[in-house]
């Protein structure tokens, strides 16, 4: 079922979705685009490349309150915070970011203790994937092609969207998407030649080249294991690193958090807040010992976690090549280049 609407009718589509639940879509802000809950249907803007923060913010917000409590009172005064979950439409997610949800599901729902916050939000959300514009040049930071992701992969989306000039095509990918699209007013059926255009576009998504290097999960895991103790290599690639948290905060597959008790004027809240392995105090132990005091140790941890430990433990590479870490790095450290160097590490070892 391929439906279509026009870009100037986007506010109508948005209004329709807002009636059914919360609409979360890219909104232009001071520094660029970000996914935000839409309050005014005219806010939805699909002329963007990608957002600053990844859409993980929708399922895993930077701050999540667990328990509210009062001090100077028995502990029983503490009350769990029930997350407010409404049917949500996550609109305009790029294919590489859609892929990241699958990786994050491993950590939040498929291993260890399932995270009810992530799972409830994920279950309540319908994902509208959105193909990259293949007529545009790829952003120099991106490399999703390396991870085997196309510019127009509908996998993982419930509804997949594609823009052709002033027309927006919407195709149901999952049964949930099918149900939803069937009930949306204002959409018209696409003509057969448009259906062909849509199918061709998706098929050609893999021909769209972002930066590419041949990466086999098993082989790359082995390479990084082999150079783990090569301090020269890690010092060299981390010399410029400032050890700030940008790369992990904008990353769609970084999931580390800290549990904080924040009390003000007798009222407190226990919450989780994003943390970053690039911060000095991330591994600081209560004893005062810190196993990762050096910048190179922290950068090595971040990269090896994504391209080595994660593969060993869970199978897939924990990176989707969206390029955000590279794009927003204040000193242009590029994870792709580091991986590329590790792939070529054989020459490095001979040196």
Partner 1 sequence: MAISFEQIEQHLKTEALKLLESGKVILVLAYGRGYDANHPMPYVAKHPSDVDNIVFNEYCTANLARYLTRYPRRTKIAIAVKAADSRAVVQLIQEDKVCREDLVVLGIPVYGMKNFKTGEVIDSKTTGGLYNPVLYDILLGEEVHGQPVSSPYDVLAAYEAMDKEERWAFWQRELGRCIRCYACRKACPMCYCDPCFIDQNKPKWGEKSPESPGNLMYHLTRFHHLAGRCIDCGECSRACPVDIPLYLFHKKVAKDCEEMFGQAAGMSIGDKPVLVNFRVDDSDKILE
Which chain residues interact with partner 1 by CB under 8 A? Answer: 29-32, 52-53, 62-63, 140-141, 239-240, 242-246, 249-250, 258, 260, 262, 264, 271, 273, 276, 279-281, 295, 326, 328, 330-334, 336-337
Strands (E), the chain: 2-6, 22-29, 32-37, 63-70, 79-80, 88-93, 125-130, 159-164, 167-172, 188-189, 257-264, 267-274
Q: Under a CB-based contact definition with an 8 Å cutoff, are residues 190 and 4 in contact?
A: yes
From the CB of 276, what's the least distance to partner 1, in Å?
A: 7
Residue placing its CB nearer to partner 1 in the complex, 191 or 259: 259
From the CB of 41, what's the least distance to partner 1, in Å?
A: 23
User: What SS3 class is residue 53?
Assistant: coil
Q: Under a CB-based contact definition with an 8 Å cutoff, are residues 96 and 321 in contact?
A: yes
From the CB of 303, what's the least distance to partner 1, in Å?
A: 15
Q: Which of 39, 23, 31 minimizes the C-alpha distance to 249?
A: 31
Residue placing its CB nearer to partner 1 in the complex, 126 or 329: 329
Residue placing its CB nearer to partner 1 in the complex, 96 or 276: 276
Residue that is written with structure tokens 């895993």 in the block: 60
From the CB of 234, what's the least distance to partner 1, in Å?
A: 13
Residue placing its CB nearer to partner 1 in the complex, 75 or 331: 331
CA 177 to chain CA centroid, Å, is: 21
What are the φ/ψ torsions at residue 25 (nearest 5 degrees)?
A: -150, 165
Tokens of 109: 């729902």
**Positive or negative torsion for Cα 308, 314, 320, 325:** negative
From the CB of 315, what's the least distance to partner 1, in Å?
A: 28
CA distance linking residue 259 with residue 128, whole number of Å: 32
Residue placing its CB nearer to partner 1 in the complex, 35 or 128: 35
Q: Under a CB-based contact definition with an 8 Å cutoff, are residues 163 and 194 in contact?
A: no
From the CB of 5, what's the least distance to partner 1, in Å?
A: 32
From the CB of 331, what's the least distance to partner 1, in Å?
A: 5
* Exposure on the CB side of residue 167, measured as CA atoms within 13 A: 15
From the CB of 309, what's the least distance to partner 1, in Å?
A: 23
User: What SS3 class is residue 229?
Assistant: coil
Residue placing its CB nearer to partner 1 in the complex, 54 or 125: 54
Residue that is written with structure tokens 């999703």 in the block: 144
Residue placing its CB nearer to partner 1 in the complex, 76 or 286: 286
Sheet holding 32-37, edge to edge: 32-37, 22-29, 88-93, 125-130, 159-164, 167-172, 2-6, 188-189
From the CB of 278, what's the least distance to partner 1, in Å?
A: 9
Q: Is 249 exposed, middle or buried (CB count within 10 Å of its CB: 0-12, 13-18, 19+)?
A: buried
Residue placing its CB nearer to partner 1 in the complex, 16 or 333: 333
Residue placing its CB nearer to partner 1 in the complex, 111 or 231: 231
């Amino acid at each position: 079922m391929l439906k279509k609407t026009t870009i100037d009718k986007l506010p109508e589509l948005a209004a329709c979705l807002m009636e059914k639940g919360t609409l979360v879509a890219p909104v232009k802000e001071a520094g660029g685009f970000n996914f935000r809950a839409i309050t005014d249907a005219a806010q939805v803007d699909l002329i963007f490349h990608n957002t600053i923060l990844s859409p993980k913010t929708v399922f895993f917000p930077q701050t999540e309150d667990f328990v509210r409590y009062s001090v100077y009172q028995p502990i029983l005064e503490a009350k769990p915070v029930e997350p407010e979950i409404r049917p949500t439409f996550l609109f305009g997610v790029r294919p590489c970011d859609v892929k990241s949800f699958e990786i994050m599901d491993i950590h939040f729902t498929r291993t260890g203790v399932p995270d009810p916050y992530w799972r409830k939000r994920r279950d309540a959300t319908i994902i509208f994937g959105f193909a990259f514009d293949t007529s545009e040049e790829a952003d120099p930071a991106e490399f999703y092609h390396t991870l085997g992701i196309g510019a127009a992969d509908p996998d993982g989306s419930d509804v997949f969207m594609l823009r052709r000039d002033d027309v927006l095509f919407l195709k149901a990918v999952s049964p949930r998407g099918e149900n939803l699209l069937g009930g949306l007013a204002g959409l018209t059926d696409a003509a057969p030649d448009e259906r062909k255009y849509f199918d061709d576009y998706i098929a050609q998504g893999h021909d769209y080249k972002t930066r590419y290097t041949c990466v086999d999960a098993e082989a790359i895991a082995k390479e990084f294991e082999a150079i783990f103790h090569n301090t020269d290599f890690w010092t060299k690639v981390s010399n410029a690193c400032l050890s700030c948290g940008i790369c992990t905060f904008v990353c769609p597959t970084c999931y580390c958090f800290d549990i904080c008790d924040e009390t003000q004027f007798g009222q407190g809240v226990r919450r989780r807040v994003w943390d970053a392995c690039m911060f000095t105090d991330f591994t600081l132990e209560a004893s005062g010992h810190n196993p990762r005091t050096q910048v190179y140790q922290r950068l090595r941890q971040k990269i090896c976690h994504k391209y080595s430990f994660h593969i060993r433990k869970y199978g897939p590479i924990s990176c989707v090549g969206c390029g955000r870490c590279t794009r927003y790095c204040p000193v242009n450290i590029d994870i792709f280049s580091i991986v590329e160097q590790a792939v070529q590490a054989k020459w490095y070892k001979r040196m």
